[in-house]
């Protein structure tokens, strides 16, 4: 899938190169913003940021403020995926002056990403403000898929704050929403809270079900993390040998 995305983007850049004037510059910048995500997965953060720097240069050249906003959103997203939380918050904050250029869904993504990043640097007040704003946008748009993401992230915030009952309630509220979304990551978060709450049997059941869907979807990163938490469950049961075996499976993933 990654190779296919790269090939499509590169083909798009070849087509765009034949355009003239502002159209060529606009679409070159737009495709570079998209390519930054695949560059991150294939070549690392430095290559991805190089694409974004070039996209910013092109966007500034033609005064495309909406593309500059997308550059900041994408940079924040990539820093978050690399667990560089302070940089993720800074990139998202840099986009605030460009909110007027963004569609509601883009504002939602910006606030959700920054809220998640803020909770990871323990700015829980700022995180809740961002996540509540993202939830308001989801409700305003009437999009349950966005509401799912906002509520789940509020559950993650409650986990960070140590309120395990609230975290479990919010995560279950999100999971109960009848929306078609990938749930590997969110159910992994849910299981981790269950383990900390001492509900190891429930966590194991959820992890085993989630492992099956992650394998079906070919999500190796999530599979390895699920194996890690299944190993934690085995350790809680004093089954060290089983825990080591499951941990090795995660390592191979």
Q: Give tens-digit pLDDT for 62-98.
A: 999 999 999 999 999 999 988 899 999 999 999 988 9
pLDDT of residue 246: 92
- Rounded CA-CA distance 9/6 in Å is 5
The DSSP 8-state label assigned to residue 13 in this structure reads H
- Helix and strand numbers, DSSP H then E, in the chain: 13, 0
Quick one: pLDDT band at residue 174, thresholds 50, 70, 90? very high
- The dihedral sign for the CA sequence 218, 220, 225, 228: positive
- Rounded CA-CA distance 135/99 in Å is 16
**pLDDT above 90: residue 251:** no
Distances (CA, A) of 109 to 26, 50, 106, 176, 246: 22, 22, 5, 22, 35
Q: Is 179 exposed, middle or buried (0-12, 13-18, 19+ CB in 10 A)?
A: middle
- Rounded CA-CA distance 188/233 in Å is 13
- The dihedral sign for the CA sequence 9, 11, 17, 20: negative
| 81 three-class SS | helix
pLDDT of residue 139: 96
Quick one: pLDDT band at residue 1, thresholds 50, 70, 90? low
Confidence (pTM):
0.83
Q: Are 204 and 192 in contact (CB under 8 A)?
A: no
């Amino acid at each position: 899938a990654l190779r296919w995305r790269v090939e499509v983007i590169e083909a798009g850049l070849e087509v765009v190169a034949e355009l003239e004037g502002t159209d060529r510059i606009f679409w070159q910048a737009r495709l570079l913003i998209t390519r930054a995500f695949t560059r991150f997965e294939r070549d690392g953060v430095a290559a991805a940021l190089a694409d974004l720097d070039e996209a910013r240069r092109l966007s500034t050249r033609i005064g495309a403020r909406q593309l500059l906003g997308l550059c900041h959103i994408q940079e924040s997203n990539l820093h978050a995926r690399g667990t560089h939380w302070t940089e993720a918050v800074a990139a998202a904050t840099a986009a605030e002056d460009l909110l007027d250029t963004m569609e509601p869904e883009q504002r939602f993504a910006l606030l959700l990403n920054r809220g998640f990043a803020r909770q990871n640097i323990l700015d829980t007040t700022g995180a809740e403000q961002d996540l509540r704003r993202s939830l308001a946008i989801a409700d305003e748009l009437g999009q349950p898929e966005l509401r799912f993401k906002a509520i789940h992230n509020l559950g993650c915030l409650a986990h960070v704050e140590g309120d395990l009952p609230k975290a479990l309630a919010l995560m279950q509220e999100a999971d109960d929403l009848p929306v078609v979304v990938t749930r590997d990551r969110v159910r992994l978060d849910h299981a981790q809270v269950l383990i900390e709450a001492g509900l190891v049997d429930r966590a194991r059941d959820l992890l085993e079900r989630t492992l099956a869907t992650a394998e079906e979807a070919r999500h190796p990163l999530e599979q390895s993390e699920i194996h890690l938490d299944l190993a934690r469950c085995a350790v809680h049961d004093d089954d060290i040998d089983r825990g080591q075996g499951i941990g090795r499976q995660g390592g191979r993933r």
